[in-house]
Amino acid sequence: MDTFDKGSGPTHGKPFQVALLGNPNTGKTTLFNALSGLRHRTGNYPGVTVEVRKGALKASFNGTDHDIDLLDLPGTYSLAARSPDELLAVDVVTGCFGESSRPDALVCMADASNLERSLYLFSQAVELGVPVVLALSMVDLAAKQGIKVDTRKLSEQLGLAVIAVNATKGTGLRELKAAIIEAALGKVAPNAQMLPEAVKSTQAELAKAWNCHPGFVLRALVDEGGEAEKRLTAQKGATAVAELQAARQKLTTQHQIALPVLEPRCRYPWIRKQVAGTVERSQNNQKGFTEKADRWLVHPFYGTGIFLLIMLFFFQAIFVLAKPVMEWLGELTDGLASWLGGQLGPGPFNSLVCEGVIPGVGAVLVFLPQILILFAFMGVLEDCGYMARAAFLMDRLMARCGLSGKAFIPLLSSLGCAVPGILSTRVIENRRDRLAAIVVAPLMSCSARLPVYVLLTGAFLSQTWWLPGLTLFGLYMIGFVVAPLVAWTLKSTLLAGEKPIFMLEMPPFRVPAVKVVARRMVEAAWEFLARAGTLILASMVVVWALLHYPSTTPDGKYWPEVIEESKGEDRLVLLEQWKSNTILARVSRSLDPLWAPVGWDWRIGAAALASFPAREVVVASLGIVFGQDPEWEETAVGDESEKRLASRLQEAKRADGSRLFTIPTALSLLVFVALCCQCVSTLAVMARETRSWKWPAFTFAYMTTLAYLGAILVFQVGTMLEGWIRP
Amino acid sequence: MTSQQPPFAVEKSLDKWPLQIQGEIVSVEGTDSVACRLLEMGILEGEPIRILGYAPLGDPMEIRLRDFQLSLRLSEAQRVTVRTAPLPVD
């Protein structure tokens, strides 16, 4: 659409480097997606938890095509950096980011309905000596609120291109791209004077002395104790620090005002002057809608009630809406397994497919509907503006355990799956707060734990009608209690530091864009399917092999055939003979001293070991170890297969003939599964989001330790209690 | 919801005002990063402001200024002194 002569190729040798800046909630990401389509990748940058996405696009100007490399910066209100994450924006605009050079142009995104505030970042950008284009979003929303911005007049006042864009509808994109090229070719930086002359000259002097970008120097000079100053100290040493202190001292005495708070007090009057006469306001009843809605939605009483109702609906929908699809998917995999079992001749391959791959991957795939619903809800709540209200309502409660109010939704969505939960912690700007939320997210009982909970609770803890529900509730409570405790411990030790500022913009309510929500759902589904297709598949193949080989009896026959030929109860004895000699069983048996305190035998230990890559594997592994061949009881269908495994577990005996699973044993396994970090993809996402292996390693260590200690506690106390009750 | 707008100008820190009060920011205290963040968000001397509400347990609070709504904790709001005035806030 942007060009008629697409084949002509670029005329400019190198693509233009363009950075996209803007406040959070201005529709920056939507604009980036609209401009770059699906052709973007994430830039890796050590030490920060935010990502910079890079997109390639073509733009046409004056009949020729140009290539643009567009860098999408994390949303920010100011270039003043107080954490490595925030310094990233400064690095990109000054050309210190990774392999990319100084940008040829900047695109600044501003919200037309909130023009003055969103021009603050713009006012910092125009001083960087790089051409700037101002993209104005939310023009429709502003019009509904009775705010009309005259873009032509604003453009004249500012002396640069101002383009109104609507990324969802696709309007203004072509004009914006042309304006970017024009600015980049023109190489004319805006000329704006906001800060006092003395500050400007000091900035220039220091830039020359240190051979640094003036933009970086300004940050080091103005943000006392900020990240730029820290970097300068690390790179240039004590002399630079002394020069910096002297320069600050001089400016402070000259202007009678502390430097850091001078900047906003200079910029806002400038903004007001530029905007004057370009914004027209009319009375409009739409104006107060958000405010009126907020009277109810953030009301201490009604607001909390509405919030609880929304959350209840959220979870109910995840379970109820997903159930039929999940059942259908479950039947499909069962059907596929038995059909393929018939098609393939007997042998190791048949066993691999029908006992390993299909049940393993199938057990994961059934959660796809839940993931889709979870992300649809998250997308809608976020895009309509409710998410900020939820964070507002929960902030005090979360602050007590050292977390931000914004951590509530990530933790809640970790009840579905910790992977999207960890991804959604991106809304937390403070690094320490975000790390605390990431590290405790896997403690929330995710949906992959549910099959284990249901199986063991059903088999061993349903003597009375209220016991299963209570057990399930208790297992979920473990997460709700332990996660805040761990967060609190972390925030008072490893992640201790000054309390971050909680300032959250409450965006106006609007109808969520279908495109935005759909995109989030598709991205989540792909990530999930890729995981099922790679990690779970691979780990099921490995687990199956470790529990299948050696597969020959001492006299050289194939075990499955021997079992097939035998009749009746013999089969279970033979199965145990076979399985107890397989590789994983040998490993597990050698770890017997480890299992004794928690009351397990090698079989439970093997299942627990096997499920470290993905906890979904635990039920399938129990099935392999305890024998769950559908051919044995042909009448069993659907839910029966679970009951079949349950009865096998109930009948399982120890070497001395006593029951393997007592209530304390079952509970210790349940507690272990509840607390343990048996999920490689969670750890991988954690590594990606924190850009280090330190945090996943820490999480794995502390969760495994907690799980093991918890299991010991439950088993020992449980056995003691059992002794008192039934001496 | 009734406004408890006092009939004459009163100065108090932002966290001490009841609901629906409107006024004007008189000062933002301090030169540290908290003060900087407040100023950067446009909480500046002379700006009209209105208190929209408090979360359960009384913290954080929601305010309206310029053309947007913002929530902040009382510990930060304490820095801001507001003088009530009988002028309307957008």
- Flag whether B39 is in a domain: yes
**Confidence (pLDDT) at B1:** 42
Q: Cβ B31–A261 below 8 Å, yes or no? A: yes
Q: Are residues A37 and A179 in the same domain?
A: yes
- Flag whether A713 is in a domain: no
Six-digit token string for A212? 């640094």
A665 touching chain B per CB within 8 A: no
- Flag whether A208 is in a domain: yes
- Flag whether B28 is in a domain: yes
- Flag whether B6 is in a domain: no
Picking from A307, A395, A499 by the largest number of B CB atoms within 10 A of its own CB, the best residue to mutate is A395
| pLDDT, greater one: A321 or A22 | A22
DSSP letter, residue B8: S
Average pLDDT over residues A67-87: 86
- Flag whether B4 is in a domain: no
Q: Cβ A80–B56 below 8 Å, yes or no? A: no
Amino acid at A555: D
The verdict on pTM exceeding 0.90 is no
Q: What is the pLDDT of residues A421-476, one digit of tens each?
A: 887 787 777 788 889 999 999 999 887 888 788 888 888 888 888 888 888 888 98
- Flag whether A158 is in a domain: yes
Tell me the residue range of the domain where A214 lies.
197-256
Rounded percentage of chain A residues whose pLDDT exceeds 70: 91
Nearest C-alpha in B relative to A120: B40
B18 touching chain A per CB within 8 A: no
A612: how many CB neighbours lie within 10 A of its CB?
18
Number of domains in chain B: 1
- Flag whether B58 is in a domain: yes
pLDDT at A282 over 90: no
Which of B1, B60, B68 shows the shortest C-beta gap to A295?
A: B1
Picking from B1, B39, B43 by the largest number of A CB atoms within 10 A of its own CB, the best residue to mutate is B39
**Confidence (pLDDT) at A98:** 62
Q: Are residues A59 and A145 in the same domain?
A: yes
| pLDDT, greater one: A78 or A526 | A78
CA distance A424 to A417: 11
**Confidence (pLDDT) at A636:** 39
Domain's final residue, options A152, A186, A220: A186
CATH number at residue B71: 2.30.30.90
CA distance A52 to A39: 14
Give the containing element (helix H, strand E) for A292.
Answer: helix A289-297
- Flag whether A517 is in a domain: no
- Flag whether A172 is in a domain: yes
- Flag whether B21 is in a domain: yes
**Confidence (pLDDT) at B43:** 93
Average pLDDT over residues A704-721: 95
Average pLDDT over residues A599-626: 86
Interior angle at CA A293, CA A289 and CA A298, nearest 5: 145
- Nearest Cα neighbor of A408 from A440, A431, A453, A385 is A440
Q: Are residues A180 and A203 in the same domain?
A: no
Among A203-207, A690-694, A695-699, B59-63, the least confident range: A690-694
Q: What is the side-by-side strand order in the sheet with A40-43? A: A40-43, A52-61, A64-72, A16-22, A105-111, A132-137, A162-164
pLDDT at A135 over 90: yes
**Confidence (pLDDT) at A719:** 92
Report the Cα A509 to chain-centroid distance in Å. 24
- Flag whether B24 is in a domain: yes
**Confidence (pLDDT) at A40:** 61
Q: How high is the ipTM of this complex?
A: 0.90
Q: Are residues A116 and A220 in the same domain?
A: no
Is A329 within 8 Å of A365 (Cβ atoms)? yes
pLDDT at A286 over 60: no
- Flag whether B3 is in a domain: no
Nearest C-alpha in B relative to A81: B33
Number of domains in chain A: 2
pLDDT at A629 over 70: no
Q: Are residues A147 and A40 in the same domain?
A: yes
Tell me the residue range of the domain where B26 lies.
11-84
Q: Are residues A182 and A201 in the same domain?
A: no
**Confidence (pLDDT) at A712:** 96
For residue A506, the chain B residues in CB contact (below 8 A) are: 62, 68-71
**Confidence (pLDDT) at A727:** 60
- Flag whether A99 is in a domain: yes
Length reported for chain A: 727
**Confidence (pLDDT) at A675:** 96
Q: Are residues A34 and A181 in the same domain?
A: yes
Q: Are residues A172 and A46 in the same domain?
A: yes
| pLDDT, greater one: A106 or A645 | A106
Six-digit token string for A284? 């409009």
CA distance A636 to B66: 67
- Flag whether A71 is in a domain: yes
Q: Are residues A219 and A244 in the same domain?
A: yes
Average pLDDT over residues A607-629: 80
Q: Are residues A19 and A151 in the same domain?
A: yes
For residue A78, the chain B residues in CB contact (below 8 A) are: 40
- Nearest Cα neighbor of A122 from A130, A112, A113, A132 is A132
Average pLDDT over residues A132-140: 93
Mean of per-residue pLDDT scores for chain A: 84
| pLDDT, greater one: A25 or A443 | A443
Q: What is the pLDDT of residues B20-56, one digit of tens each?
A: 788 899 999 988 888 999 999 999 999 999 888 888 8
CATH number at residue A162: 3.40.50.300
